[in-house]
Homo-oligomer: A and B are copies of this chain.
Amino acid sequence: MIEKADSLQTQFSIGVKGTVRRTEKTPRGIEIVPSEIRILGIAQHPLPLDVTGRTPAEIDTRLNARVLDLRRDECGAVFRIEHVALEATRAFLSERGFVEVHTPRIIASATEGGAALFPVTYFEHDAFLAQSPQLYKEQLIMSFEKVFEIGSFFRAEESHTRRHLSEFISVDIEEAFAAAPDVMKVLEKLVRYVCGAVKKGCQRELEILKYRFDVPRTPFKRFTYDEILKELDGEGVDVPWGEDIPTPAFRTLGKIHPYFYFITDWPTKSKAFYINPQDENPKVCEGFDLMWQWVELASGGTRIHSKDLLIKRLTEHGLHPESFKFHLKVFDYGMPPHAGWAIGLERLIMMLTGKKNIREVVLFPRDRYRLTP
């Protein structure tokens, strides 16, 4: 027995039969006096990573030996937090009558415009990987009124940053007979609920991560795009009206608003074709973003539900209404007004774990340069 015990090395998988005793000598307060030891899985030393974390490794080294990396307490804690966050998200939405749906990942035409799609060979046809469930979830509120989907989507993201991936998890809702202010309320309450669930259910994990956050109060602050531009101007940052807000400007903003806030009333041209322009001033639309510090966590809005307006907007975006015929047809079936949003799950988990690189919160990340393991 002693000989066998001597042959053991770190990361071996073993089975031990024996008597469990209290002791003060071990961190968990118990020890096992073995009557039998079985070696179930051998680890070949030297290992590519130090699992104790005492010798820190670069993120790429860690991702190359990801499952070993995930044995580190700090790494495992991230995904236990994700588990609880997802559980809370689904409970919150189901409770409020949202029906879980699964929309296709293989699609015949571009949903959000043509850019950044991965092509798939679908038998003898050309197809693409879906970037979002946007059009399908809009269609489904005709039948279910309130729907949600949580799943993988794909974007051929050329930029290699600490917050972009080419495969990511989107948390999507869509609601009939609702407008942006209605779904913004759902969103902020959901975020508060999930923060509460993680803070309560993951105390040990947050301790391991040495990370704290406060459960936010609702309602979150709401700023119009114009207010944000004025604020940025006061900080010496100039953003021309109509443009998206660039990352450096968002970083400035994050310093002024260190928590959750909404940006509303975006220029119509800065948002996707399906966001409803405001009746009084069609240059401004009913889209919104939920920000956390300088990071865009979620994006949504009131959708266009008039077929004619949707065709007009598609054309203005340089898209071909013909490619959207299956979607447009649905607007002839009595489409109710509707609104919705999408949260980037990984970004929410970054907020909940304090991680700065999105690759830390994905088990096997996919980006411009990484397709393995």
Contacts and interface: CB of A to CB of B under 8 A. Distances in A.
A143 interface: yes
B15 A333 contact: no
Interface string A80-99: 10110011001000100001
A178 to B, nearest CB: 12
A348 to B, nearest CB: 14
A134 B162 CA distance: 28
A144 B76 contact: yes
B83 A100 contact: yes
Contacts of A120: 118-121, 129
Given A41-B337, A140-B363, A105 B105 contact: yes
A60 to B, nearest CB: 14
Contacts of A87: 90, 94, 100
A119 B121 contact: yes
B104 A364 contact: yes
Residue among A107, A108, A368, A372 having the largest count of chain B Cβ atoms under 10 Å: A372
A43 interface: yes
Nearest to A168: B102
B43 A167 contact: no
Contact of A99 (B71, B80, B152, B364): B80
A156 B123 contact: yes
A185 to B, nearest CB: 19
Interface residues of A, number: 80
A166 B336 contact: no
A330 B43 CA distance: 9
A284 interface: no
A134 to B, nearest CB: 14
A177 interface: yes
Contacts of A103: 363-364
A302 B129 CA distance: 33
A66 B333 CA distance: 11
A371 B127 contact: yes
Given A41-B334, A106-B166, 18 more contacts: A11-B334, A13-B337, A66-B139, A67-B139, A71-B143, A79-B144, A83-B99, A87-B94, A102-B362, A104-B364, A104-B366, A105-B167, A106-B154, A119-B120, A120-B129, A123-B156, A151-B151, A151-B152
